[in-house]
Amino acid sequence: MDRIYSSREDNPALDTIVVWLYILLVLIGLISIYSSTSEVNQTFQFSLSSLAGRQLIWIGGAVFIILTIAFANVAIIDYFAYGFYGFAILLNIAVLFWGKEVAGAKSWFGIGGFGIQPCEFAKVATALAIAKYLGTYGIRFKGTRNVLITLSLFLFPMLLILAQNDTGSALVFLSFFLVLYREGLPGWILLSALWLMIIAIARIVMEATGISHIWTMSSLLSLTALIIYFGRRNKQLIFATLFIAALSALFSIVVGFAYTKILKGYQRDRIELVLGLKQDTRNMGYNLEQSRIAIGAGQLLGRGFLKGTQTKMGFVPAQHTDFIFCNICEEWGFIGVLVFFGLYFGLIFRLINLAERQYTAFGRVLGYGVVCILLFHITINIGMTIGIVPVIGIPLPFISFGGSSLWAFTLLLFLFLKVDEKRR
């Protein structure tokens, strides 16, 4: 261990680029929260009890976290990784019993006037734990035991969070599959996932529109037959194809069952809306349309700070939390979006490079953990506001209102920066 974390002070600071991007994004978030919770053209007024004021308090907490990490000994991170993970798991179990229910999800601890969402910290803890495990000397992502342990490290908290009925946050844990690809997860698994997604979507389209099953079944069959015909000399190919076809058919049946029997009406609505199978279903359609209007209304230069009526007056749902991207779009326009994307995707790009420059699997896995979690959040959150991903309630990191999310992402980011600072 000491060999990895030498006390050489050749990287005496946290990565400046990332820190600056972080600061800018958090400030953009604060401004957007202020804007989306104020009146149109209101003169400046600020109080700590307002939502923007509370976010400022959260930011204060985040600064405290950053300073603590900056001055802590990096060995502590490695040392307490499993402990932190265990603690997070316990919290997520406890919340099932003693948590309070918000919007149908039992995932909050109320502390005074503030609430804490343990699932946010589970992401950090899981990223740390997987990094720690795969960073352990002699362990690689290979072999049944190692793979199973790695998978259960993130699938277990994922199940816990599903049990809390917070589907969105649970789905975030799927991003660890992406992390594992860097560590040697075979490409065909990701390809299979893609294939399964295609089958699932096809099946859902069928179920929703009432197209006969025969069409997909027969196209699947003829595709299989074609491959078998052209590859008739290759027995392995024939078996593989038949196997895949059988699995696909089975999966399709499972999806069909899950879609019609397990998913709730509003969940089906969300999926069908995004797939363009439904024009409008009362609230969901209205919300998506309002979100689109807010974004579209921004045009090139935006409607101006404090002038976005869509994102101030309740037309866009959750205008200061999950849908806060709409506020940026409406008030700052396409130019603002370009700047915002530049900062945001720039941050992730920088993090990929940081992850790649790690000398240890621990650092690299942690780095890709940050990258994949952030990318997943952004893809889902922004995709949802612009209407190409179903509405899944997860926050936009650093931007959305909320202490748990801000603290968790700050923790995640700066733990990695600290590891990066002390790499070698």
Binding site for other proteins (CB under 8 A): 39-41, 140, 178, 181-184, 290, 292-300, 303, 309-310, 312-315, 329-330, 333-334, 337-338, 341, 345, 348-349, 352, 356, 361, 364, 368, 371-372, 375, 378-379, 382-383, 386-388
User: Closest CB to other proteins among 58 and 344?
Assistant: 344
Nearer to other proteins, 160 or 351 (CB): 351
Judged by CB, which is closer to other proteins: 76, or 193? 193
Q: Which is nearer to other proteins, 333 or 395 (CB)?
A: 333
Shortest CB 335 distance to other proteins, Å: 10
- Rounded Cα gap, residues 56 and 37, in angstroms: 14
Nearer Cβ to other proteins (295/417) = 295
- The residues with which 108 forms a beta bridge, in sequence order, are 100
Contact yes or no for 126/134 (Cβ under 8 A): no
Shortest distance (Å) from residue 276 CB to other proteins: 13
Residue 294 pairs in a beta bridge with none
**What's the CA dihedral at 178, 181, 186, 187 to 10 degrees?**
60
- What is the closest distance, in whole angstroms, from the C-beta atom of residue 60 to other proteins in the complex? 30
Q: How far is the CB of 366 from other proteins (least distance, A)?
A: 14
User: Which one-letter amino acid corresponds to residue 153?
Assistant: L
Closest separation in Å from C-beta 134 to other proteins:
11
Q: How far is the CB of 383 from other proteins (least distance, A)?
A: 7
Min CB(232)–other proteins separation in Å: 34
Query: Which CB, 320 or 364, lies closer to other proteins?
Result: 364
Indicate the residue type of 238. Answer: I
Query: Among residues 90 and 193, whose Cβ is nearest to other proteins?
Result: 193
